[in-house]
Amino acid sequence: MDRLIIRFATCARAAGLMVSQAEVMDTLTHLALVDVTDPQAFHRVLRANFAKSRRDQPRFDHLFHLFFHEFREDAGLSKDLLAPEAARLARELAKEFPDDPAFKAALDFMAGDPLAFLEKLRALETDGDRPAMAMGGNLGQVARRLEMMLAAGKVKDGLLRRLGENPDNLPWQTRRELEEHFLSRLDAARRLISGEDRPLEAGAEARSAYEKRLGEIGERSFVSLTPKEVAEMREVIDQLVRKLKDLASLRYSRQKRGVLDVKKTLRKSGRYLGVPMELVRRNKPPKKGKIVTLCDVSGSVWSAARFMLNMLYSLQECFTRVRSYVFVAGLAEVTGIFEDNEISRAIDKVLAEAELEYGAPTDYGATFRQFSRNHMEVLNKKTTLIIIGDGRSNYLNPELRLLEEMREKCRRVIWLNPEAKGFWYSGDSEMRAFETRVNEVRPCQNLNQLTDFIQDLIL
């Protein structure tokens, strides 16, 4: 029994279920407590230990079925007597191609042990998720599928040949049953390889729907999104944000409870006649400081800026404070709009309500002048200033000195550029000059780049 469960666990892991040593041990303990000859009880115990979320259950059930019914050593053979026969044929055939792992995997599969075969398939499928490397990059996958298909065919031919070689050794009924068995096995293998039957993916659908979408939309340039995709992007961002929050808070989760800071507690208690009304603990998770954003909202830059604002404000609790300004030729503070409205509404409102001259040519210099005149006090050594823009300043004075002053005032300045890198230094772009005045410049053309940035920011 132990061996069987351990093998099933290996299979389950190969199929992407989270099964640790702990689960295997628990399962064995649990099996000792129930009537294992009752197939349903057996199934229930395994499922309660192997599939620990609803999403995993269909995948588990499918695998369970494959492992304990379809591919069971004796399954499909009417008499257990046939199993040794099939195994013997397989053993003999194995000697013919000793160095061919694909052949060996297919042979084991035909003879009742699906593990190696499933693992090969799994490797194939995860490879398939990688973007095609160069031209025809997908050919490799197709070729390997073909290789497995050929191996399975070779195994079948070999088995049937051996079956026919010594007709007198076996009664014809036995031979026919074995033949049927191998053919049906081959069929199963074929279905698996061609992807008609995907045990490794059953149930994975729900989990990866979001990942798939992220994959599709993550590399799409912000400028090219249709309105429908913008809405979809928001949903993807919601989930991303949730993950990032989990990450951030787990990271700060104190291993041990913060210890009571007796001195501070007593100091504070002065206000209440010496009674400690408020306990102070050490090791509060650090906040990640203040964020100030300056967003160019002219033209195409807005399409990237809105998503950045969306993410930043969704993660507000990771920062002490987020303040935002938008600009074209002049500056307007929009922090209030974000604080008073739900995020997506706030984003829609920004362009409508911020008092800006949208017709005017973008002027970074004027923006910096206005910022340093009126808002310099929002910067201090705990502030990260994020500027998002293409740096196209219509050949007007870029006021580099002011940008330098701003950098001196704060912890760091990060410049996000949503333009394709190939255009950065052309035409009226001042990127080359800006680049040397800020601490970091990052491309920000699509969701993946944006996510990387935000993740670095909060962790």
Partner 1 sequence: MEFENVEAVRQRLEEADYICSPEAATVVFLAEATGKPVLVEGPAGVGKTELAKAVAKCLGRELIRLQCYEGLDEAKALYEWEYAKQLLYTQMVKDKLSEIISGAGSLSEAVDRIANQEDAFFSERFIQPRPLLAALTSLKPVVLLIDEVDKSDPEFEAFLLEILSDFQVSIPELGTKKAVHIPFVVLTSNNYRDMSDALKRRCIHLYLDYPDRDLERRIVQLKLPGIGQRLGDQLVDSVRAIRDLDLKKKPCISETLDWARSLVVLQVEELSPAVVEETLSVLVKYRSDSGKVRENIKKVADKAGLTWTASS
Could you list the residues that contact partner 1 (CB under 8 A)? Answer: 18, 20, 22-23, 26, 29-30, 33-34, 40-41, 44-45, 47-49, 51-54, 57, 242, 245-246, 249-250, 252-253, 256-260, 262-263, 266-267, 272-277, 279
Give the nearer residue to partner 1 in terms of CB position, either 288 or 369. 288
Give the nearer residue to partner 1 in terms of CB position, either 286 or 422. 286
The residues, ordered by sequence, that sit 6+ positions from 114 with a Cβ below 8 Å of its Cβ are 11, 66, 67, 71, 108
Identify the CA nearest to 321 among candidates 403, 258, 380: 380
Minimum Å gap between C-beta 366 and partner 1 is: 43
Minimum Å gap between C-beta 25 and partner 1 is: 10
Give the nearer residue to partner 1 in terms of CB position, either 26 or 201. 26
Write out the DSSP string of 146-162: HHHHHHHHHHHHHHHHH
Strands of 412-417's sheet in order across:
331-333, 321-327, 290-296, 383-388, 412-417, 440-443
CB 416 within 8 A of CB 388: yes
Question: Virtual CA dihedral for 351, 357, 361, 364, nearest 10 degrees?
Answer: -80
Beta strands 412-417 and 321-327: pairing type?
Answer: unpaired
Please work out, in degrees rounded to the nearest 5, the angle formed at the alpha carbon of residue 339 by the alpha carbons of 336 and 343.
115
CA distance 118 to 108: 11
Give the nearer residue to partner 1 in terms of CB position, either 32 or 142. 32
Place of tokens 């990032």: 244
Give the nearer residue to partner 1 in terms of CB position, either 209 or 277. 277
Minimum Å gap between C-beta 253 and partner 1 is: 4
Give the nearer residue to partner 1 in terms of CB position, either 49 or 293. 49
Give the nearer residue to partner 1 in terms of CB position, either 60 or 364. 60
Minimum Å gap between C-beta 33 and partner 1 is: 5
Minimum Å gap between C-beta 114 and partner 1 is: 25
CB 53 within 8 A of CB 158: no
> Which secondary-structure segment (H or E) carries 383?
strand 383-388
Minimum Å gap between C-beta 259 and partner 1 is: 4
Beta strands 331-333 and 321-327: pairing type?
Answer: antiparallel
Minimum Å gap between C-beta 457 and partner 1 is: 19
3-class state of residue 405 by DSSP = helix
Largest alpha-carbon pair distance within the chain? 103
Give the nearer residue to partner 1 in terms of CB position, either 272 or 423. 272
Minimum Å gap between C-beta 389 and partner 1 is: 35
